[in-house]
Amino acid sequence: MKEYKVGVIGGTGMVGQRFVTLLERHPWFRLSAIAASGRSAGKTYEEAAGGRWAMDAPMPENAKKLVVLDAVADAEKLAGQVDFCFCAVDMPKDEIRALEERYARLECPIVSNNSAHRWTEDVPMVVPEINAGHIQIIEAQRKRLGTKRGFIAVKSNCSLQSYVPALHPLRKYGLEKALVCTYQAISGAGKTFQRWPEMVDNCIPYIGGEEEKSEKEPLKLWGTVQDGKIIAAAEPLITAQCFRVACQDGHMAAVFMKFQDGKKPSIEQIKADWAAFRGPAQELELPSAPKQFLHYFDEPDRPQTRLDRNLENGMAISLGRLREDSQYDYKFVGLSHNTLRGAAGGGVLLAELLCAKDYI
Ligand SMILES: NC(=O)c1ccc[n+]([C@@H]2O[C@H](COP(=O)([O-])OP(=O)(O)OC[C@H]3O[C@@H](n4cnc5c(N)ncnc54)[C@H](OP(=O)(O)O)[C@@H]3O)[C@@H](O)[C@H]2O)c1
């Protein structure tokens, strides 16, 4: 496999630090450049991010001495020195939209963690195990942008990674609706307990914009590509409540699901479908793909955030407590690592898919 030179835009932030860590020993990708705001530009990465390094692993040596570029002012320079960039920035949405399009037009593919382009009709939003086929829309996007190489591909919101992978193989039974409550870690807000002391011993029943994303984004993942657009699916209907809880990493979801009359599978069938589920990420043996995407725990008190979030390098989904429900058909619990599978790890896996399929 070719070696790809990679940039990380927003490399000083919480998700950016994850990207930098994941790229340290990646078999295909070499970290070649880091960009952030004007506040960090001109400093070495160590100077810019050392004081807020939030990863368990130490800062990679190959990153420390890189001089941080200004993501906006140095766009042409950055685009010219890498094969593609990951992007995870905290900026107003319209500025992120413009920034990502600018890089794409500079023929630098962007694999984004940001939500700004998730609803752009010709931008694929991909979980490689679920809807890898959506990347074919990139041809239509390149036509619109007038590019040969450049495009934008995005990953979906972190919250839904705990339940959509489990619902996906059950759609064949006529999954009609799902009710979801998510319990989301503070790293999802780019924070640590040190920087957000109000979260110690606390639970906040509000995360701005999160419930809408949790309800709507799955329908784009399950959508179809038609005439240069991705048309969202109409079902299953999802209703969500999203809470911020006092965990550093790991989003948990309590899920209720209802199937069409007469199509309800048995508990054994559901567990068998989960155990057997493999997607293109596994079939293509992408380096970051978990061997077993969905793990079911029979113990009644699993999955647990601290015990299970790092399963298969934080790229697998942990499931448990599947049982009958008195109002819906079944209920269960899901858990995923929000900055690995839910953010940087999901971005790296998407980039691997795009390389394996020759889009990058
Ligand atoms: N945290 C998660 O679990 C998670 C999951 C999925 C998606 N996301 C999304 O990923 C993005 C980043 O989140 P985060 O948690 O990593 O945020 P964060 O820790 O606050 O980091 C924000 C990054 O954006 C950069 N930035 C801010 N203003 C900028 C500007 N004007 N120009 C260029 N760069 C600028 C910052 O650079 P400086 O250091 O120079 O200020 C920093 O590198 C957001 O869109 C978020 O919604 C996060």
**pLDDT single digits (tens) 3-26:** 999 999 999 998 999 999 999 999
Q: What is the pLDDT, as a whole number, of residue 264?
A: 96
pLDDT (tens digit per residue) in 49-74: 999 998 989 999 999 999 999 999 99
Catalytic member of 117, 168, 251, 295: 251
Rounded Cα–Cα distance for residues 255 and 180 (Å): 5
Give backbone dihedrals phi and psi of 32, rounded to 5 degrees, phi first.
Answer: -115, -20
What rounded mean pLDDT belongs to the chain?
97
Per-residue pLDDT tens digits for 261-287? 999 999 999 999 999 999 999 999 999
Ligand 1 contact via 280 beta carbon (within 6 Å): no
Beta-carbon contacts of 136 under 8 Å, excluding residues fewer than 6 positions away, are 225
- 49 Cα to the center of ligand 1, angstroms: 12
Q: Which two tokens mark 278?
A: 């493999």
4-157+343-356: CATH architecture: 3-Layer(aba) Sandwich (3.40)
| CATH architecture of the domain covering 159-337 | 2-Layer Sandwich (3.30)
pLDDT at 327: 96
Three-class SS of residue 220?
A: helix
CA 161 to ligand 1 center in whole angstroms:
19
Q: Where are the domain boundaries for CATH 3.40.50.720 in the chain?
A: 4-157+343-356
45, 124 Cβ separation under 8 angstroms: no
Q: Is the pLDDT of residue 2 over 90?
A: no
Residue 139 to residue 148: CA distance in whole angstroms: 9
Q: Enumerate the CATH 3.30.360.10 domain ranges in the chain, comma separated.
A: 159-337
Q: What is the mean pLDDT of residues 300-324?
A: 97
**Is residue 338 within 8 Å of 250, Cβ to Cβ?**
yes
pLDDT tens for 92-125 read 999 999 999 999 999 999 999 999 999 999 999 9
Alpha-carbon span 330 to 179, nearest angstrom:
11
Query: Where residue 157 falls among pLDDT bands split at 50, 70, 90?
Result: very high
What is residue 94's predicted lDDT score, i.e. its pLDDT?
A: 97
Percent of the chain past pLDDT 70, that is, above it, reads 100
Q: pTM for this one?
A: 0.96
Residue keyed to tokens 């040969």:
148
Q: What CA–CA distance (Å, rounded) separates 321 from 330?
A: 10
Q: Which residues contact 194 (CB under 8 A, 6 or more apart)?
A: none
- 56 contact partners, CB below 8 Å, separation of at least 6: none
